[in-house]
């Protein structure tokens, strides 16, 4: 009886943890198989333990080149989308102007559009313009679809900002530029950072839009896609595992630092 | 006027805040009707009114945070109407303080000094924090302080700039009652100490009366009446002021005779007398007038003792409908023919046990305490049910 | 950037139109909007128009294409590929429902029951994003491999018999069946369901649960009458964020499915990148877009939540 009660009370916890397990299972597989030494070209079946791939992560031709290209594109796309998106978010929250509704829809639509539609239509445009597909077309596409997400993230933050803070700064002899640099920007920073992080993740991991508009340029996701057809090197798992671990450590470290700072100040 | 300090005419004008014909409209809505107002230098001036009356908008026009639709703002001889807020020698204590959440207390207070290019701020900030008793908290962030402490930081942050005028926008609104009382005295002390002109916006009539030398009561974008607190309280000129500042019993009456010193009026059979000097309405015989008297000026006597009431007092008969015991006083609600909800506050010196609901009583008061108002206005203006505009509309 | 705050932000709620204090400030919003909006117009809106025009063109790669208002392309495309359309909607809808069923308990757990583990669980939900989703999808090939432990367990429990009878799997295989594709879609878009759900659950005041309990609601009633209705914004935006990309996805169908599980995304992709039949591909993509917009609009109207993002 008590066990049934316990089960009833913790049903949601058990279900939640099972979902979490479902979410993490592929990552566990990816990690385990980064120590595999497969027979043949595909790394789908466990053979025997080996650290070969970890010792030589760039051992497959084109892998590290595509990784560095993806990082570069993600960096510039983040920069571009964050700058453009932050400006739009400020304009939307802080000013009244014409065509507001139309602009809101224009920002919402890319998020409500299947990637394949955007990818195909953008390719049509590039083909019509006779543009050379490659780094620049990928970058243009990434800034385009990251933009809306940055606007949404920054907008939420700016909307929750008390307008009196900026008025207080003006009241205390800060001109428009000083007000922006000393008060607006620092307070909006978490929203901008969240938007930028999202843009980076979206850009780095994008496959569908990139696949359409890359021409013969190969980003990291495209490299993985290609190897899924030709043969998956273990090094892919090494990179995937490393990224996962770095992300978890990064978040945990920033949480710990944040907690410690709060404790010290309190 | 209450600001008859020992000042010569010359200095009195050099630092006055003068608003001339200043108004503010938003589309079709007029927040502030054209308004002339002079705040004498060194005074503690309160703008009092319900939310939406235009008091905050007026304050923000002085600060430069709101651009007037018409009129000018002068600080002393300088026309500052076109100056942006960061170029005006005026500082504001904002509603809910608007402390910068990303800066610590020290940097919050130092903000204005730094923006004006002052490099060594340590000594000044330290002194200012000591003045508001927050020296220990300098390195804390605003959210780590209590409401009262945040309020003092907001005052320190504004005062450190030695503004010509300090504007306070409902500065005590977020504090609980006890702390509010304490901060009222504290602010008054600081004002006396630094001698800076304070313009204080509030909806709390007690706060305005306790702190200010002069109060402007605002309603619907206009100043209803301007004067020293006691003057406003004793001689309200409109029903709004009579009801908004404290409580008034207002009786609709008809003018019977109009003498040189006294007006005699009739209200539901009772004859009442009021001094001509205290009648704000043009009283012609046969015309209507509103007669008012404050609840604490009235004595209440059981009907059996009516004979003991001295001659020459205004008197009204009625029946007690409700009593509430407050401690220092008892409040009676009396149903009279002239006024169904007549309020009386009686000091609890000797309590008469017969004064219970249902008892017949005689209410009487000195005719000199009676005031007269124009009958051509709402009896209920300024009572709590008549706030009109929703909260937060003038933020 | 100095133009950003040229005019002090005139945030007076009672002021719909505010006369700007300084004349330069009046144009500030337009300068702020210009680059980003231009970007979206040129690289998002204009391509849509180009695509619409491409869909009614005829011609060939060698001779070039001309607009001939050849609407027959639409008819041909839809009549040839309607199974893929239906499949896309069915797979995406199944994945969305599964995401909601799986994601809700986890979002609830993080919001109300996780305590000091909240940050860690949140990190674990987000962190897989940083391992490329293609790598993670490939891992499902290992998990669902023929003769692997998962298939073995499902076989022993006779689950595969049931799913086989329903047409979700075939024989002893899970891989290369609709079940595998839906499983991959569910997995890939689960975080997009959990995050909005968590955001709206987290905003719910815990005292509401106590108040409902105090007013004689048993836990299941508290959930039905208080928690779930209040989390509706999260449910709506979560389902949209899952359903829309899932409908257009072709990665899961390619990696985990077979020729029989092709979705509309696979068709568009191959028409565009392999067959090079641009009019047909454009028409398909246009139909997909229209279908999704119609479904989403209908859904938003139905659920009565206008503020999705």
Indicate if the pLDDT at residue B9 is higher than 50: no
Q: CA-nearest residue of chain C to B54?
A: C14
pLDDT (average), residues B11-25: 81
**Contact yes or no for B26 and C21 at CB 8 A:** no
Q: What pLDDT is stored for residue C2 in this prediction?
A: 33
Q: What pLDDT is stored for residue B47 in this prediction?
A: 94
Residue from C114, C135, C295 whose CB has the most chain A CBs within 10 Å, to mutate: C135
**How far is the C-alpha of A81 from the C-alpha of A102, rounded, in Å?**
20
Decide: helix, strand or coil at residue C221: helix
Say whether residue B391 is in contact with chain C using an 8 A CB cutoff: no
Q: CATH 1.10.3720.10 in chain C, residues?
A: 78-303
Indicate if the pLDDT at residue B4 is higher than 50: no
Say whether residue A168 is in contact with chain B using an 8 A CB cutoff: yes
Indicate if the pLDDT at residue B8 is higher than 80: no
Q: What pLDDT is stored for residue A130 in this prediction?
A: 87
Q: CA-nearest residue of chain C to B64?
A: C21
Q: What is the mean pLDDT of chain A?
A: 89
Mean pLDDT by 10 residues, chain C (309 residues): 32 36 63 93 92 83 75 87 93 96 95 86 86 91 86 86 83 88 95 92 86 84 88 91 93 90 91 86 90 86 60
Residue from B30, B58, B67 whose CB has the most chain C CBs within 10 Å, to mutate: B67
Residues near A200 by Cβ (< 8 Å), separated by ≥ 6? A74, A75, A77, A78
Confidence class for position A262, pLDDT limits 50, 70, 90: low
What's C78-303's CATH class? mainly alpha
Q: What pLDDT is stored for residue C275 in this prediction?
A: 82
Q: Taking Cα atoms as reference points, which of C13, A175, C25 lies closest to residue B56?
A: C13
**How far is the C-alpha of C282 from the C-alpha of C55, rounded, in Å?**
5
B85-104 pLDDT tens trace: 999 999 999 988 999 999 99
pLDDT (average), residues A156-174: 90
What kind and span of H or E run contains B37?
Answer: strand B29-39
- pTM (two decimals): 0.79
Decide: helix, strand or coil at residue C218: coil
Indicate if the pLDDT at residue B143 is higher than 80: yes
B329-370 pLDDT tens trace: 999 999 998 888 899 999 988 878 899 999 999 999 999 999
Q: How far is A82 from chain B (nearest CA, A)?
A: 22
Q: What pLDDT is stored for residue B51 in this prediction?
A: 86
CATH of B9-234, one of 3.40.640.10, 3.50.50.60, 3.40.109.10, 3.40.50.300: 3.40.50.300
Residues of B in Cβ contact (< 8 Å) with C22: 84
Q: What pLDDT is stored for residue B90 in this prediction?
A: 92
Tell me the C-alpha to C-alpha distance, in Å, between residue B325 and each of B178, B319, B330. 21, 17, 5
Q: Poorest-confidence range of A5-19, B238-252, B380-394?
A: B380-394
Q: What is the mean pLDDT of chain B?
A: 87
Indicate if the pLDDT at residue B395 is higher than 70: no
Q: Delimit the domains of chain B by residue range.
A: 9-234, 249-384
Q: Given CATH 1.10.10.10, say whether it is the number of domain B249-384.
A: no
Q: What pLDDT is stored for residue B13 in this prediction?
A: 54
Q: CA-nearest residue of chain C to A212?
A: C273
Compute φ and ψ for B79, nearest 5 degrees. Answer: -85, 115
Say whether residue A263 is in contact with chain B using an 8 A CB cutoff: no
3-state SS track over A31-57: HHHCCECCCCCCCCCCCCECCHHHHCC
Q: How far is C142 from chain A (nearest CA, A)?
A: 5
What ipTM was estimated for this complex?
0.88
The DSSP output letter for B35 is E
Say whether residue B87 is in contact with chain C using an 8 A CB cutoff: no
Say whether residue C257 is in contact with chain A using an 8 A CB cutoff: no
Q: What pLDDT is stored for residue C182 in this prediction?
A: 95
**How far is the C-alpha of B100 from the C-alpha of B114, rounded, in Å?**
14
Please, what are the domains in chain A?
A: 1-59+235-266 (no CATH), 61-232 (1.10.3720.10)
As a whole-number percent, the residues of chain B with pLDDT over 70 amount to 93
Indicate if the pLDDT at residue A35 is higher than 90: yes
Residues near C233 by Cβ (< 8 Å), separated by ≥ 6? C196, C200, C305, C307, C308
pLDDT (average), residues B28-41: 92
Q: What pLDDT is stored for residue C8 in this prediction?
A: 33
**Contact yes or no for A251 and C251 at CB 8 A:** no
Question: Each residue of C173-190: b (16+ CB within 10 Å) or e?
Answer: bbbbbbbbbbbbbbbbbb
Which chains share 3+ C-beta pairs under 8 angstroms with C?
A, B
């Amino acid at each position: 009886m008590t066990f049934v009660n316990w089960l009833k009370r913790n049903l949601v916890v058990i279900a939640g943890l099972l979902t979490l397990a479902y979410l993490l299972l592929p990552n566990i597989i990816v990690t385990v198989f980064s120590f595999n030494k497969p027979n043949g070209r595909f790394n789908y079946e466990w053979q025997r333990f080996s650290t070969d791939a970890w010792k030589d992560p760039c051992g497959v031709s084109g892998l590290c080149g595509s990784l560095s290209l993806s990082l570069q594109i993600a960096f510039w796309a983040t920069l571009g989308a964050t700058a453009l998106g932050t400006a739009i978010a400020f304009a939307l929250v802080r000013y009244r102007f014409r065509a507001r509704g139309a602009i809101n829809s224009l920002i919402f639509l890319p998020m409500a559009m299947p990637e394949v539609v955007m990818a195909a239509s953008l390719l049509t445009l590039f083909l019509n313009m006779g543009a050379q597909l490659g780094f620049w077309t990928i970058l243009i596409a990434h800034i385009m679809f990251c933009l809306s997400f940055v606007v949404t993230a920054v907008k939420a933050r700016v909307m929750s900002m008390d307008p009196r803070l900026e008025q207080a700064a003006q009241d205390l002899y800060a001109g428009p530029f000083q007000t922006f640099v000393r008060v607006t920007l620092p307070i909006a920073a978490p929203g901008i950072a969240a938007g930028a992080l999202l843009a980076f993740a979206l850009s780095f991991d994008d496959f569908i839009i990139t696949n359409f508009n890359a021409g013969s340029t190969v980003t990291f996701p495209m490299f993985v896609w290609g190897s899924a057809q030709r043969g998956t090197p273990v090094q892919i798992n090494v990179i995937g595992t490393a990224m996962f671990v770095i992300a978890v450590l990064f978040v945990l470290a920033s949480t710990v630092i944040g907690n410690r700072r709060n404790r010290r100040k309190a | 006027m209450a600001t008859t300090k020992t000042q010569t005419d010359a200095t009195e004008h050099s630092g006055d805040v003068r608003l001339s014909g200043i108004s503010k409209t938003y589309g079709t809505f007029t927040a502030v009707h054209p308004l002339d107002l002079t705040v004498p230098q060194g005074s503690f001036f309160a703008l009092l009114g319900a939310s939406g009356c235009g008091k905050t908008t007026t304050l923000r026009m002085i600060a430069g945070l709101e651009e007037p639709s018409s009129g000018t703002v002068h600080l002393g001889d300088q026309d500052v109407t076109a100056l942006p807020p960061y170029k005006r020698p005026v500082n504001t204590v904002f509603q809910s303080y608007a402390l910068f959440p990303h800066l610590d207390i020290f940097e919050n207070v130092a903000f204005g000094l730094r923006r004006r290019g002052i490099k060594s701020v340590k000594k000044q900030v330290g002194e200012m924090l000591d003045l508001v008793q927050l020296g220990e908290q300098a390195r804390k962030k605003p959210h780590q302080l209590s409401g009262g402490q945040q309020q003092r930081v907001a005052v320190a942050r504004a005062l450190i700039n030695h503004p010509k005028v300090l504007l306070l926008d409902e500065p005590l609104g977020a504090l609980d009652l006890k702390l509010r009382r304490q901060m009222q005295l504290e602010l008054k002390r600081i004002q006396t100490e630094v001698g800076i002109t304070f313009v204080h916006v509030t909806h709390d009539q007690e706060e305005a009366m306790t702190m200010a030398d002069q109060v402007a009561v605002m309603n619907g974008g206009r100043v209803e009446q301007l004067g020293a607190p006691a003057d406003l309280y004793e001689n309200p000129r409109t029903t709004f002021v009579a009801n908004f500042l404290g409580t008034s019993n207002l009786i609709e009456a008809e003018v019977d005779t109009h003498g040189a010193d006294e007006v005699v009026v009739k209200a539901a059979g009772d004859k009442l007398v009021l001094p001509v000097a205290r009648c704000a309405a043009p009283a012609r015989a046969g015309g209507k007038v509103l007669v008012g008297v404050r609840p604490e000026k009235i004595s209440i006597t059981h009907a059996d003792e009516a004979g003991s009431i001295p001659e020459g007092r205004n008197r009204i008969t009625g029946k007690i409908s409700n009593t509430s015991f407050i401690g220092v006083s008892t409040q009676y609600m009396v149903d009279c023919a002239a006024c169904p909800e007549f309020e009386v506050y009686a000091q609890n010196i000797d309590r008469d046990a017969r004064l219970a609901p249902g008892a017949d009583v005689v209410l009487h008061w000195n005719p000199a305490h009676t005031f007269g108002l124009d009958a051509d206005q709402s009896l209920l203006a300024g009572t709590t049910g008549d706030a009109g505009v929703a909260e937060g509309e003038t933020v | 950037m100095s133009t950003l705050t040229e005019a002090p932000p005139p945030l007076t709620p009672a002021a719909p139109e505010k006369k700007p204090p300084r004349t330069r400030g009046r144009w500030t919003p337009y300068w702020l909007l210009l680059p980003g909006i231009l970007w979206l117009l040129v690289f998002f809106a204009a391509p849509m128009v180009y695509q619409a025009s491409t869909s009614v063109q005829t011609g060939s790669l060698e001779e070039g294409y001309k607009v001939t208002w050849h609407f027959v392309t639409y008819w041909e495309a839809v009549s040839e590929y309607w199974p893929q359309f239906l499949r896309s909607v069915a797979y995406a809808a199944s994945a969305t429902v599964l995401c909601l069923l799986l994601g809700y308990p986890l979002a609830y757990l993080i919001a109300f029951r996780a305590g000091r583990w909240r940050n860690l669980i949140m990190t674990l939900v987000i962190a897989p994003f940083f391992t490329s989703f293609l790598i993670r999808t490939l891992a499902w090939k290992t998990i669902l491999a023929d003769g692997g432990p998962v298939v073995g367990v499902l076989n022993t429990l006779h689950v595969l018999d049931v799913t086989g009878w329903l047409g979700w799997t075939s024989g002893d295989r899970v891989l290369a069946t609709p079940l595998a594709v839906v499983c991959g879609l569910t997995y890939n878009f689960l975080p997009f369901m959990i995050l909005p759900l968590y955001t709206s659950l987290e905003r719910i005041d815990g005292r509401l649960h106590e108040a409902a309990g105090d007013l004689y609601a048993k836990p299941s009633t508290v959930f039905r009458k208080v928690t779930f209705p209040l989390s509706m914004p999260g449910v709506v935006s979560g389902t949209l964020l899952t359903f829309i990309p899932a409908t257009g996805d072709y990665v899961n169908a390619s990696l985990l499915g077979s020729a029989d599980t092709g979705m509309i995304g696979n068709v568009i992709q191959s028409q565009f990148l392999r067959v090079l039949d641009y009019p047909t591909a454009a028409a398909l993509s246009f139909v997909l877009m229209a279908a999704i917009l119609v479904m989403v609009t209908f859904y938003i109207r139905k659920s009565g939540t206008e503020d999705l993002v």
